[in-house]
Amino acid sequence: MEVEIIFFQKKYQLASSHLDKKLQVNSQNVSQIIMNLKFLNPLDDCEVYLVAPVDNWSDSPIFLAKLAISWAKLENKILIIDANLRNPSQHVFFNLNRDYGLTNALSDLEGIEKYIQVSVIERISVLTAGEYAPNPVELLNSKKMNQLIVWAKKNFDLVLVNVPPFLEYTDGRVVALQSDQIVLLTKFGKTKNYDFRKVVNLLKEIEKKKTGVIVIE
């Protein structure tokens, strides 16, 4: 497993959780992030990026949405999968139906397309969390989830998966096994060195994965 700092910018500001204001993100900073992420995928194939906060950082789902918006401007067809079944949020950012998404698709893979919602942002589709599920780890660790990931890679240019904090839940570790790349988000001045090292050690068991770290103020 390779771990590298792919972006460090103390002045990067997330600003707001509202979609209209998210478009005001510093495009130069996000472009730099995207360029560095591309180094994790030199073949330019469709990749599944697991985007996970190291700890309980509430703005990390906003960052994922901003990243998707900027990536879509490069004419990539993006799918966001909200696999944070404990505290889903992507439906809020893109004003979509939360109760018609991932958990539903996992029980009805033959008709997965009907659960994909097209956002108001061109080239961005979202698979929201879906109906409440009491067993998120079991669902995310299922063969159906793996089949869903395979389907997504065939139908999109890029897949971004949102998961809960790595340190608090095992959900992210389960999805990481099905992803191509892992992007860890840490909060400057908030994430403890001990916690970061703990996450890196957890990821060492996931072989042949490249892990990028984005440090944000």
What is the total count of domains within the chain? 1
How far is residue 66's CA from residue 145's CA, in Å, rounded to a whole number? 25
Question: Among candidates 52, 71, 124, which has minimal Cα distance to 94?
Answer: 124
Across the range 90-111, mean pLDDT stands at 87
- Model-wide pTM > 0.85: no
12-62 pLDDT, tens digit each: 333 333 333 333 344 455 556 666 666 555 556 678 888 888 877 667 788
Beta carbons of 57 and 100 less than 8 angstroms apart: no
> For position 151, what pLDDT does the model report?
93
162-209 pLDDT, tens digit each: 999 888 889 988 998 888 888 887 776 677 777 777 777 777 776 645
Question: Among candidates 177, 171, 71, which has minimal Cα distance to 129?
Answer: 171
Cα 78 to the center of its chain, rounded Å: 11
C-beta neighbour count of 86 within 10 angstroms: 15
Q: Which domain holds residue 199?
A: 2-13+20-216
> For position 18, what pLDDT does the model report?
35
For residue 187, the domain's CATH number is 3.40.50.300
Strand-pairing partners, residue 213, are 5, 184
How far is residue 66's CA from residue 49's CA, in Å, rounded to a whole number? 14
DSSP 8-state class, residue 180? S
